[in-house]
Structure 1
C-alpha cells in the first residue's frame, strides 16, 4: 500500500508568502477517542462493565505475531518484500484507521494517525530493549532495519513516485544481520570516536599544555571502551591500541 504525499502549503512561488491562516486548535480529547476507535475497529478491544475499550496489549501481541508470520527476510532477495515501513505497519495493523484509505479529514484525524504510527513504530524499535526485539530472542531472530524502495502517490499529480524509506524485518540470515545490524552499530561507535577526537583536538589546539594529560586520559577511556565491548576480540583490539597506550603511560 502506498502512503500519500501531502502537498506543501505556502504561496505561489518559492519567495512568495501564502495567505495568513489561523492555526487549528486540536481537540486532544477527540484525538484520543479517534485513536481508541481505530484500535477497537481492528478488533483489539475488551469489554468491561458493559463498555468496549481499546486494548493496546492485544495490538502489541498481534503486531509481534504479524512480524513473525509475515516479515522474516531469508536473504537479500526478499528483504524489500518482507520489510515493513512505518506507514505499512500502521495500515497493516489498523486498516480502518484515519489516513489509510484516504487523507485524514480533520486535524484530529491527522494527529491521531501521527500518534498511532509513532506508537506502533516505537514497539518495533530495533534497539536492544524494543518490544519485538526482546520477544523474538528465543526464536533466534534479530530485528534489523534497512533502506527499502517504495512508491508513493503524489496527491497533487496522482502519480506514483519512487522513494526510499526505512524498513524493518526479522531475520536469521548471517549476512543481513552483519550488514544491517552490527555494521551500523559499529558505524555509530566510530562516529562517536571521531567526535571525541575532534573535541580533544579543539582543546589541545587552544591549550597545548593540556596535550599530555589529555593523552593519558584518553588511554584510560580506550581501555574502558575495550572492556565494555564484551563480544569484541579483546586480544586483537588491544594489539591495535597497545602502542598508543604504552606511549601514553610512559609520558
Structure 2
C-alpha cells in the first residue's frame, strides 16, 4: 500500500488516532499536512517526521480555515490526493432532556459541519490531481445508539450518511469516499471521557467483545490506510466498523 507521491491532509492529526494515521501515511511515502488546534503536539509530530510533513493550526468548523489548509498543502506539496476527516469532539454524558442547545451546536460544528466543509473544500484540488480518496472517521456511535450521547450519536450517524451521499456525488471525478467506525480505541479523547468514572468501565465492556480487548490507534489507522490506497480502488461509500465485533 505505497503512498509514494501522494499528498494527504489529516485533521485532528496531532495525537491519538489522527497521529497514528499520519505516521502510517508518512511511513508509506505520503507527504502529509497535519492539522489540529493542539499546536505543540502537532508541531512536534511534524518536526519528528521531517520534510515530508507540515503542521497547520486549523479550526475545522471554519470554511476560511479549510481554504487555508488546502492552500497550505498545495503550496508545500502539490494537489491533494487524500483527505482524512478525523478531527472530532465528544460530549459530557447527558440525556436528550439535559443536553444544552449550545453544546449541541458545538458538537455539530466540530463533528459534522467540519466533514462537509472539508469534503467540499478539497474537491477542486483532487480534481487537479486527477483522483482522490476521502476517509471520514465516524464511530460505532454512527451505527448503533448510545445512552446519554445524543449529540455525539447524531453527528456520527450524519457522517455515515454524508459519506454515502458524497461517494455518489464525487464518483464521476474518480474521488472515492469511505467511512471508518472505530469502537473502543485507546485514545486521549476516550480517556478524557472515562477518567472521572469509577472502576474500569471501558475495560469491563471490552472484555465482553468477540475480540475481548481495547484497540490501539494503529489498528484503526491501518484500515484508513487501506481505504485511501490503490488496493481499495473499487471501494466507495463503504462504512467499515473497526470495533472488535461490537456491532456484530
TM normalised by structure 1 equals 0.28
Larger radius of gyration: 1
Return the structure number with greater helix share.
1
TM-score (structure 2 length as normaliser): 0.28
More contact order relative to length (CA 8 Å, sep ≥ 6) = 2
